[in-house]
Amino acid sequence: MSGHGIRRRLVVLLSASVALVWAGMLAFTWIDTREEVAEQADARLEEGARTIMLLDLPKLAALARAPAGPDDDDDDDDDLSLRFQVWDNAGVLRLSSRGAPQTGYRPGVGHAMLDHRRYAWHTYALRDPMQGYQVRVFERPGVRGRLVNQTATRMAQVLLVGLPVLALLAWISIGYGLRPLRRVSDAIALRDATRLDPIDRTAIPVEVQPLVDALNRLLARLSASLAHERAFTADAAHELRTPLAAIKIQAEVALGAVDEAERSHAMRQIIHGVNRTTHLVRQLLLLARLDQAPAAPAQPVDLARIAADSAARFAGAALDKGMMLELVAGDACTVSAEPVALGVLVDNLIDNAIKYGRPGGQVRVVVEPAPIALAVLGDGPAIDRAVQARLVDRFYRAEGNAAEGSGLGLSIVVRIAQAYGARLQLGPGINGSGFGATVSFE
């Protein structure tokens, strides 16, 4: 689920950001603490030196001999005891406390670092102006670092415990925050294929609304296309009923016929009816295939050649109706389409022109080279504009024509034309009279 993905991502990002900030804070605090500790330790050294300066030598000798503390050998706890050296003017060591390193004389005063046996000692020296003694106090090596580290470790420990707690809290609150999203996904998951009404967007957070809106738009499109499909199926079933009724009635007429002429007439009518139904079913299947499958890949096709083949197929039908079928085509005229589909397109146009043209009339098939277009023009009855607009509707058949048709021919033409970037235009036929259809390729 996407909810989990977002949750995990948010928690990881949040924890990482917090950890980064905390690490920065930790580093800053560490530096700060170190300075603080150094200042304090320096001050203590100075104070220690001044205290020793106040004492006279015999007292100092007693102090130097005294054990530094109850746990003299314990490295951890004798930090606070003073370690010192007292040097005279000549650089002779007069006194050295327990625990003070055996370093040589250094004449300078003030803070200094003394390396002695691998350790770096913080020292502070003062000179007694009257007697000329130099007093040097020592601080055990590593004391400052230990103090700083202890402080830093304590802070890090708090953070280390805090981070998982924060992550857990983040996980829970993000889960809570994403609940509206879960509600949306539940609302969608609950739907079956038949429920295409829009998802309620009232209780949905603004961040998710664009998603829900997009989904609703998709649902609307789906629902429209489904409704269109259902209407088509219903229309198709109804369209089949009339020829089926005719076949059935003609069969009953044949059975009840009293003479041979009547019977054979009815039989011929049955065959005619079956042919008509077959044609309707074929057109329906063709349209269904055009609707479902993606268009067959286009290739260069000679439109003039396709038009010539198609015209040849309808020569007989034209002659039967006493019509003059004429092809006006020049050189090869290459368009990008699929040859069989293009043939179906031209067939449908010529078939219509012959079927709905006037007996003894003309049908002219024109292939225009530039811009490339195919026109099928007739000189039969003109069709007014309002009717023309409806001709491409599925199952629409113009009124008052005696010819039988499926009402699908122009729908098929439009569908094929669309698939190959062409456009169907209806208008006047030969010399501005009659009716014509033009398919223009881009």
Contact footprint for other proteins (CB under 8 A): 238-239, 241-250, 252-253, 256-258, 262, 265-266, 269, 272-273, 276, 397, 399-400, 402, 404
The C-alpha atoms of residue 226 and residue 361 are separated, in whole angstroms, by: 42
The C-alpha atoms of residue 328 and residue 412 are separated, in whole angstroms, by: 24
- Structure tokens of 235? 């229309």
Buried/exposed code over 141-179 (b: 16+ C-beta within 10 A; e: otherwise) = bebbeebbeebbeebbeebeeeeeebbeebbeebeeebe
Residue 261 CB, shortest distance to other proteins, in Å, is 11
Q: CA 338 → CA 166, 294, 301, 310, 420, distances in Å?
A: 64, 12, 7, 15, 8
Residue 244 CB, shortest distance to other proteins, in Å, is 4
Residue 268 CB, shortest distance to other proteins, in Å, is 11
Residue 165, amino acid: V
Q: CA 292 → CA 109, 178, 193, 287, 393, distances in Å?
A: 98, 39, 18, 9, 18
Q: Which is nearer to other proteins, 62 or 227 (CB)?
A: 227
With a CB cutoff of 8 Å and minimum separation 6, the contacts of 203 are 180, 183
* 395 close to 409: Cβ distance less than 8 angstroms: no
- Structure tokens of 47? 């104070």
- Structure tokens of 104? 């040589």
* 318 close to 354: Cβ distance less than 8 angstroms: yes
Q: Which is nearer to other proteins, 12 or 271 (CB)?
A: 271
Residue 348 CB, shortest distance to other proteins, in Å, is 21
Q: Which is nearer to other proteins, 243 or 380 (CB)?
A: 243
Residue 437 CB, shortest distance to other proteins, in Å, is 21
Residue 255 CB, shortest distance to other proteins, in Å, is 9
Position of tokens 């098929």? Answer: 412
Q: Are strands 362-368 and 324-329 parallel, antiparallel or unpaired?
A: parallel
Q: Which is nearer to other proteins, 163 or 254 (CB)?
A: 254
Q: Which is nearer to other proteins, 34 or 272 (CB)?
A: 272
Residue 177 CB, shortest distance to other proteins, in Å, is 50
Q: Which is nearer to other proteins, 42 or 404 (CB)?
A: 404
Give the DSSP letter string of 171-214.
HHHHHHHTHHHHHHHHHHHT--TT--SPPP-TTS-TTTHHHHHH
Residue 246 CB, shortest distance to other proteins, in Å, is 4
Q: Which is nearer to other proteins, 216 or 269 (CB)?
A: 269
Q: Which is nearer to other proteins, 192 or 384 (CB)?
A: 384
